[in-house]
Amino acid sequence: MLMMMAAPSAHAVIELTDFDFENAANAAIFNAGGDYPADSGQTTVLLHNQTFPGGNITILPTGGNLDGVLDLAGTQNINKNTIYCFVTGPINTTGTTDVKLSFDLMSTGNGGQFETLTLGYNTTSQSGPFTTFATITDLQTHSTYFNYNETNTPTLNLSNDGVPQSSTLYIQWCFSTTHGNNATGNDTRIDNIEFNAIPEPTTAIGGALAAVGLCWSQRRRLSVFRRARAA
């Protein structure tokens, strides 16, 4: 029975961290040059602007899926063949398996918006260096919000990509275009960045044993109480 409780299943999925960009106060701090903390899960995880020039990466209060959204180069020109990056981390993935990333993305404009997203990881520092584990090249094909996930983009399963467990996992998001953004209104918008995972069997066993121990302790106390009353 204990092994059945410990076996990973679809019901065992846990949220590691999530960015939905709904916190207006934190958005204001980010837009002023600070970091944006995750909205749920591991809220010590931060979104940090790495190489976007000022004005090229902002959190807007509307236009997301729903409401708040991360807007990339929506109001400023970007250069072709130049890489612009931000980083999310540190994410604690220890004691888990099947770590997955998903996010919503919408691309609108006259063709000058970003075309390619390259994802990399580092397990010690947000400064890198980063090892690439996924490259997505169809960003401009989504004029309405599209959810990237493991099903349509298998490389978003970090565990299958060989990304190691770490208590300090950093993910780098790098965007580029071969055309350049030559007009205000070319937007790449990202929302609902989620990292999910499944606890490893040993972790689940530990939780099950703790629950069994608690039940045994409570039953023992009740038994002692009943004997005392009977006396």
Q: For 134-200, what is the HEC assignment? A: EEECCHHHCCCCEEECCCCCHHHECCCCCCCCCCCEEEEEEEECCCCECCCCCEEEEEEEEEEEEEC
218 lies in the same domain as 131: no
The pLDDT of residue 4: 41
Q: Which residue ranges of the chain lie beneath pLDDT 50?
A: 1-8, 10, 203-217, 221-228
Question: CATH number, domain at 37?
Answer: 2.60.120.200
Q: Are residues 89 and 172 in the same domain?
A: yes
Q: Which amino acid is it at 143?
A: S
Interatomic CA distance for residues 172 and 130, integer angstroms = 7
- Domain ranges, residue 108: 12-199
What total number of domains does the chain contain?
2
Q: What 3-state DSSP class applies to 124?
A: coil
